[in-house]
């Protein structure tokens, strides 16, 4: 077992080194991307409530006792449930990485690690930013704003964690196999939509999550693509 763990640790370290090198080479593009996303967020903020109301569909079927969820809301609940980091990413990691080890495929070990680590770092960044910013979720009965340094779950709206980890994983997958993006990105987009349908996030929260997720996905996707082509 020790050689396996040493190899996985070496691959993990290698991916981080390559991701850091990519950032050092391309940091102006990451800064530009950050500026564009934040400008988009600032532009969206005044329209967030109205756009969210337009996006959301009825939650319950009319005249049902007890109340029954609409098919749209049921779909959103499933997407949100399975789109959580600890559902998709951890399950794929727990299944995919051991299979790659069993079949002695270093390439697939590297891919599984890159998908997982990209989403993991995205999730860590989200959980640092959300309490610091302190934006209330749309379901909270308080005035919208940035309340700063709030540790209650109801004030963790910006950015969307589901969106960040979904787009981080989708971006890594797309770097490795571009045609897979035709499935990965619509799935990530569907997960993001589900968070708005369930009244957990505003559209601006989604945009912030997309930007953050794509950034980490590019870093680790480029790292694993460079190595798997060798």
For 55-68, the pLDDT digits (tens) are 999 999 988 888 89
Q: Where are the domains of the chain?
A: 10-52+66-228
Residues 174-192: pLDDT tens digits?
999 999 999 999 999 999 9
Closest CA to 122 of 163, 80, 79, 82: 163
Beta strand ranges found along 63-199 (DSSP E): none
Report CA-CA distances (Å) from 117 to 86, 114, 123, 211. Answer: 13, 5, 10, 17
Residue with the larger pLDDT of the pair 164 and 230: 164
Structure tokens at 153: 């779950």
**pLDDT at residue 226, as a whole number:** 67
Report the SS3 class of residue 30.
helix
State the burial class of residue 119 (Cβ atoms within 10 Å of its Cβ: 0-12, 13-18, 19+).
buried
Of residues 169, 67, 69, the one with CA closest to residue 116? 169
Least confident span in 16-30, 33-47, 117-131, 213-227: 213-227
Query: What's the CA gap between 85 and 149, in Å, rounded?
Result: 23
Question: What mean pLDDT is predicted for residues 36-49?
Answer: 97
């Amino acid at each position: 077992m020790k050689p396996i763990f040493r190899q996985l640790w070496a691959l993990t370290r290698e991916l981080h080194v390559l991701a850091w090198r990519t950032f050092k080479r391309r940091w102006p593009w990451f800064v530009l991307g950050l500026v564009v996303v934040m400008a988009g967020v600032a532009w969206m903020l005044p329209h967030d409530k109205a756009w969210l109301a337009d996006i959301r569909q009825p939650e319950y079927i009319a005249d049902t006792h007890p109340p029954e969820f609409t098919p749209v809301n049921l779909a959103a609940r499933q997407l949100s449930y399975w789109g959580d980091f600890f559902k998709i990413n951890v399950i794929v990691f727990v299944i995919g990485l051991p299979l790659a080890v069993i079949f002695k495929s270093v390439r697939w070990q590297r891919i599984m690690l890159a998908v997982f680590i990209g989403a993991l770092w995205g999730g860590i960044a989200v959980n640092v930013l959300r309490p610091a910013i302190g934006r209330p979720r749309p379901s909270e009965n308080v005035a919208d704003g940035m309340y700063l340094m709030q540790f209650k779950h109801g004030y963790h709206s910006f950015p969307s964690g589901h969106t960040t980890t979904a787009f981080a994983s989708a971006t890594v997958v797309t770097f490795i196999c571009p045609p897979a993006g035709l499935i990965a990105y619509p799935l990530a987009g569907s997960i993001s939509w589900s968070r708005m349908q369930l009244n957990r996030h505003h559209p601006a929260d989604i945009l912030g999550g997309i930007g953050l997720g794509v950034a980490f996905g590019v870093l680790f996707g480029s790292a694993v693509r460079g190595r798997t082509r060798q």
